[in-house]
């Protein structure tokens, strides 16, 4: 039953989402990542060699492993997992959340996201850009959908005592993810600790302590 609802949700989302990536100039351009040509996206596999499996991804009925510090797991279906998505401006993800697990504040630099809850109760939120930085939140139940506008920082949290399953659709073949805490406190190499201390208006030891966690 849950699986059937999941795939109905997926089908509905695929119809709703329009591309922010550039429009295709041909029926398809199945990604050929081993081609040495660097273009925006991936070079195309010879169309005569394309198979059904180039347009296929299986396994979204399987729960992700949420045994990690944040208590959530994203199973992405982007061009990296499904080469047929190349040039099509769309992708998908399954997100699993342990009770009180979070998908920490993050942004997708290339996509708007629409998410629907398949199981459980999920708090969602996004923050508007400067100067207001208004937080817009809502608690979603099974069957609800919510949109995170392009580029804005957003998060989700399981606010129930059972697992949550959500399906997200994004209008890019490669939406990208920037997790705020990891990017700012876990960059490689580190952002200077005194700079972070000033940016976050905390003592240098606190900034250093957070950096040591990432």
Q: Whole-angstrom Cα distance, residue 89 to residue 137? A: 27
Neighbours of 18 (CB within 10 A): 10
Question: Residue 75 has which token pair?
Answer: 């199973």
158 annotated to bind ligand: no
3-state helix, strand, coil in the chain (%, to 5): 25, 30, 50
Report the nearest approach of ligand NAG to the CB of residue 37 (Å).
Answer: 37
- Binders in 134-153 for ligand NAG, by CB under 6 A: none
Closer Cβ to ligand NAG, 158 or 171, answer by number: 158
- Interaction between residue 67 and ligand NAG (CB under 6 A): yes
Q: Whole-angstrom Cα distance, residue 144 to residue 184? A: 32
Question: Residue 80 has which token pair?
Answer: 């990296």
Report the nearest approach of ligand NAG to the CB of residue 103 (Å).
Answer: 17
- Interaction between residue 69 and ligand NAG (CB under 6 A): no
Closer Cβ to ligand NAG, 66 or 111, answer by number: 66
Which one-letter DSSP state was computed for residue 70?
Answer: T
- Interaction between residue 63 and ligand NAG (CB under 6 A): no
Instruction: Please give the annotated binding residues for Mn(2+), written as ranges.
Output: 106, 108, 113, 154
Contact residues: ligand NAG, CB under 6 A = 65, 67
């Amino acid at each position: 039953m849950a699986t059937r609802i999941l795939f109905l949700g997926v089908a509905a989302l695929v119809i709703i989402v329009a591309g922010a990536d550039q429009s295709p100039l041909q029926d398809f351009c199945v990604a050929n990542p081993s081609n040495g040509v660097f273009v925006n996206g991936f070079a195309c596999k010879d169309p005569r060699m394309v198979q059904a499996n180039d347009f296929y991804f299986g396994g979204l009925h399987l729960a992700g492993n949420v045994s990690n510090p944040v208590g959530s797991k994203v199973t992405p279906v982007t061009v990296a997992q499904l080469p047929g998505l190349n040039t099509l401006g769309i992708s998908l993800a399954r997100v699993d959340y342990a009770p009180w697990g979070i998908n920490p504040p993050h942004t997708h630099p290339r996509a708007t996201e629409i998410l629907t809850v398949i199981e459980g109760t999920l708090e969602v939120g996004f923050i508007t850009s400067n100067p207001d930085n208004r937080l817009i939140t809502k608690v979603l139940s099974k069957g609800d959908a919510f949109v995170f506008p392009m580029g804005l920082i957003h998060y989700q949290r399981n606010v129930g005592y059972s697992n949550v399953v959500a399906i997200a659709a994004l209008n890019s073949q490669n939406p990208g993810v920037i997790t705020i805490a990891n990017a700012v406190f876990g960059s490689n190499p580190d952002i200077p600790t005194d700079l972070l201390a000033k940016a976050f208006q905390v003592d240098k030891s606190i900034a250093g302590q957070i950096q040591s966690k990432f």
